[in-house]
Amino acid sequence: MLWYGVAFFGFSLSMYLNLLIPAPGIVADRFAFFASIGFSLIAVYFLFYYKAVPKKTITYFDLKPYQKAVPALIFVLFAYTIVVRNKEWKSKTVLFETDVKKYPESVKLSLLTTSQLIINISDPKKAQLIKDEDKVRKIREAELLLKKAIQTDSGCGGCYNNLSFMYLTFERNPVEALPYLKLAYKRDTTKKEVICNLGIAYFRLGDVLTAEKYLLLAIKHDKKKDFTVPYEVLQDLYTRTNPNIGINFFRMKLKENPNSELFHVLLGKTYFETKDTLNSIKSYKEALKINPANQSVSDFVTNLEVKYYKTRW
């Protein structure tokens, strides 16, 4: 029994001890229950059998008082711990925020906590559940966590990404975001989200040419062709600077992909913002042919047609 318990305990923990390769991320405490079986067998051996000749059958009444008391005490302590821990597993947010307070030096926990906060605030439904003052406080705390994590591990690319995203999106502060974006880009020059955020930061800082360069580069690194943000930002950039470039750009993209609803919509928006209502209507209608269920575009075109033809009368 003793050696079986030792073997069970050892093998259960071996994959998380970083003996051969580092275990990625944080090991959830539930995995400790596998090892606890081996630990329990070892405890039973020393509690009941050590320096004693075991009987073939042991009943509860054969146990000595301390042999009854020790397991009961352990059971109560574990039961209390599990009940308390279950409350902390209410959601990812609660779990991460609880654990990062216990282990503030953990880079991985800092990254998980801030990533979950970004998800919660970026989701309109989840964001409604957070008070405005709590959002500000949580964002500030997250920024401090990430800065501390970067000091601990300067190679944490995700920390740079999260921190720059918070400054750029939540704080609307491209000046603070830019240094971290540059560091994130230096670590990985192919990450489309980082490249796109660099373009957005430069755009907000008024460096249009650099912004355009990075936004086009983000599109180039979009291998799956499903990243819409750089196109949307480029549409805004071209409309503010040179709408004709924007019109030609989206026309070119439509030659490459004539069935793109996105390109038709962005071309229609560019025409609309340059007061070319007729071409705007045509582009939006092309988008509706591809996706008739797009109610917002349908309503916009209807209102646009009413206003356009009313002035023509």
What per-residue confidence (pLDDT) applies to 61?
Answer: 72
Superfamily of 92-188 according to CATH: Tetratricopeptide repeat domain (1.25.40.10)
**Cβ contact 225:256 at 8 Å:** no
Q: Which of 5-14, 23-32, 230-239, 298-307 has the highest mean pLDDT?
A: 230-239
pLDDT at 1: 63
Identify the band that residue 313 occupies on the pLDDT scale cut at 50, 70 and 90: very low
Measured between alpha carbons, how far is 19 from 23 in angstroms, rounded to an integer? 9
Res. 15: pLDDT tops 90: no
pLDDT digit string (tens) for 33-68? Answer: 777 777 777 777 777 665 555 555 666 677 678 767
User: DSSP for 38-71?
Assistant: HHHHHHHIIIIITTS---S---GGGS-HHHHHHH
Predicted structure pTM score:
0.74
Q: Is the dihedral of CA 113, 114, 119, 120 positive or negative?
A: positive
DSSP for 249-311, written as a single string:
HHHHHHHH-TT-HHHHHHHHHHHHHTT-HHHHHHHHHHHHHH-TT-HHHHHHHHHHHHHHHHH
Q: Which residue shows structure tokens 């069970």?
A: 8
Of 80-89, 104-113, 144-153, 208-217, the range with the lowest mean pLDDT is 80-89
More confident residue, 283 or 30: 283
As a whole number, mean pLDDT of residues 154-169 equals: 93
> What's the confidence (pLDDT) of residue 310?
63
- In 10 A of CB 108, how many CB atoms? 16
Percent of the chain with pLDDT over 70: 84
3-state secondary structure at position 104 = coil
Taking 90 as the threshold, does the pLDDT of residue 5 lie above it?
no
pLDDT at residue 233, as a whole number:
97
Q: How many CA atoms lie within 13 A of 250 on its CB side?
A: 30
User: In the predicted model, what is the mean pLDDT of the chain?
Assistant: 86
Q: b or e along 223-262 (b: 16 or more beta carbons within 10 Å of the residue's beta carbon)? A: eeeebebbbebbbbbbbeeebeebbebbeebbeeeeebeb
Per-residue pLDDT at 212: 97
pLDDT (0 to 100) of residue 92: 85
Nearest partner of 2 among 51, 43, 53, 61, judged by Cα: 43
Please report, for the chain, the start and end positions of each structural domain, with discontinuous segments joined by +. 92-188
